[in-house]
């Protein structure tokens, strides 16, 4: 016979299982459903689904999955905006056509060109098209893409849309992420592998855009979108892992503070390799797009500009590298640092959101006016 103690123990176990199955789990699901419903009434961020273009091995978006959505910043869903995916899978309200009846500009870059932080008509390339009647302006922007990816995006644009002018919008983290040895082995984009003789070879990306039915279902959840895009929980986890690894290796004690999303210690240590990789990519651009006007637009060190300490920024080293590489290939070079600095002294208006370092509406409008002024002086062959 079982003792009363054993019977009591098994009874408690059975009751505990029942409580979990019929009380705790249903309560948890009910709470999730309530949160899901509440979040549906807030302008939480959404994101289009990536697609992989097999010929040039580049990422763009799948217009058949979702062609429009919302974007907002931070846990309080500030600065809501809307985005559109066009017929060719790019964030742009305008559909792209192969047939040309105007001169055409291709604007190539990362999330600054994707520009989901502002409404479509407030992105700098859209302002350009509105104000320059003689040009079609096609934007090709993918969040997270580095300079090494831009070259292949430009080749895609060349084949399908034959631009007359290429504008490469460069951000300070475009350069270390172009090198496979410095980008944490990310494989979503084209990168360069350095050889022993100071040359480089291209490393093709891996297609990671396939979504299972379960993954697609989860991505439609408001809770998932809020955690992933507004809270940016994945980036927080990756950052914490990086910090923990640096602590373990003793790197945190000696490394310089990050600037413009750049590991400054790594930049200084690897500056020769980074400079050579920029020159290599620019040479590839010059050879592939021979006879076309190339404009290189380089972001400014805004956090130092706001403090009136631009001269103290370490990442100006990258601006100088890009300038030198542009001059070697006879590209037009526009450095936004002195232009941002002068405007901020006069107007005291930030170019980015307080909660997000991307350009805000004022920043996009300012950049558009700089490019408009430059383009009115450009002769197209």
Mean pLDDT by 10 residues, the chain (381 residues): 57 77 81 90 92 97 90 95 96 94 96 96 96 95 97 98 98 96 86 89 92 78 92 84 74 74 90 97 98 97 97 97 98 98 98 96 98 91 69
CA nearest neighbour of 358 among 45, 177, 143: 143
CA nearest neighbour of 265 among 218, 216, 314, 313: 314
Which pTM was predicted?
0.91
CA nearest neighbour of 370 among 306, 316, 295, 307: 295
Kindly state the DSSP code that residue 22 receives in the 8-state scheme.
Answer: I
Q: Contacts by 32-35 with C-beta closer than 8 Å and gap 24+?
A: 32/223, 35/222, 35/223
- Using only C-alpha atoms, the chain has a radius of gyration, in whole angstroms, of 24
Pairing relationship of beta strands 165-170 and 332-335 according to DSSP bridges: unpaired
pLDDT on residue 273: 96
Rounded Cα distance between 335 and 370, Å, is: 10
Q: Is 140 helix (H, G, I), strand (E, B) or coil?
A: strand
CA nearest neighbour of 326 among 122, 166, 96: 166
Structure tokens at 180: 């496979």
Rounded Cα distance between 115 and 169, Å, is: 12
Longest dimension (CA), the chain: 99
Cross-strand bridge partners of residue 200: 194
Q: Are 351 and 366 in contact (CB under 8 A)?
A: yes
pLDDT on residue 5: 53
Rounded Cα distance between 60 and 65, Å, is: 12
pLDDT on residue 358: 97
pLDDT on residue 253: 61
Distance of CA 168 to the CA centre of its chain: 14
pLDDT on residue 58: 98
Rounded Cα distance between 368 and 293, Å, is: 18
């Amino acid at each position: 016979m079982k003792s009363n103690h054993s019977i009591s123990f098994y009874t408690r176990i059975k009751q505990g299982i029942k409580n979990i199955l019929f009380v705790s789990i249903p309560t948890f699901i009910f709470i999730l459903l309530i949160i899901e419903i509440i979040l549906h009434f807030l302008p939480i961020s959404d994101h289009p689904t990536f697609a992989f273009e097999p010929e040039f091995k580049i990422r763009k978006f799948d217009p058949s999955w979702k062609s429009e959505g919302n974007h907002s910043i931070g846990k309080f869903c500030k600065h809501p905006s809307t985005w559109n995916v066009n017929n060719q899978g790019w964030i742009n309200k305008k559909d792209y056509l192969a047939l040309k009846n105007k001169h055409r500009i291709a604007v190539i870059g990362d999330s600054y060109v994707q520009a989901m932080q502002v409404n479509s008509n407030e992105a700098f390339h859209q302002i350009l098209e509105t104000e320059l009647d003689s040009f079609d302006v096609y934007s090709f922007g993918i969040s997270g893409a580095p300079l090494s990816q831009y070259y292949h995006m430009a080749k895609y644009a060349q084949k399908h849309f034959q631009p007359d002018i290429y504008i490469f919008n460069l951000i300070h983290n475009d350069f270390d992420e172009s090198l496979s040895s410095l980008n944490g082995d990310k494989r979503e984009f084209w990168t360069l592998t350095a050889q022993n003789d100071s040359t480089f070879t291209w490393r093709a990306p891996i297609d990671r855009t396939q979504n299972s039915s379960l993954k697609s279902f989860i991505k439609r959840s408001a809770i998932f979108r809020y955690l992933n895009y507004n809270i940016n929980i994945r980036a927080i986890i990756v950052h914490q892992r990086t910090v923990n690894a640096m602590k373990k290796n003793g790197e945190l004690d000696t490394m310089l503070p990050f600037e413009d999303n750049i590991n400054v210690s790594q930049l200084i240590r690897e500056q020769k390799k980074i400079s050579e990789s920029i020159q290599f990519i620019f040479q590839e651009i010059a050879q592939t797009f021979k006879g076309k006007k190339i404009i290189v637009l380089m972001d400014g060190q805004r956090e130092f500009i706001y403090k009136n300490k631009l001269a103290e920024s370490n990442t100006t080293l990258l601006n100088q590298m890009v300038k030198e590489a542009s001059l070697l290939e006879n590209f037009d070079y526009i450095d936004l640092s002195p232009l941002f600095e002068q405007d901020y002294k006069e107007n005291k208006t930030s170019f980015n959101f307080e909660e997000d370092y991307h350009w805000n509406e004022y920043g996009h409008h300012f950049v558009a006016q700089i490019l408009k002024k430059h383009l009115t002086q450009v002769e197209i062959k």
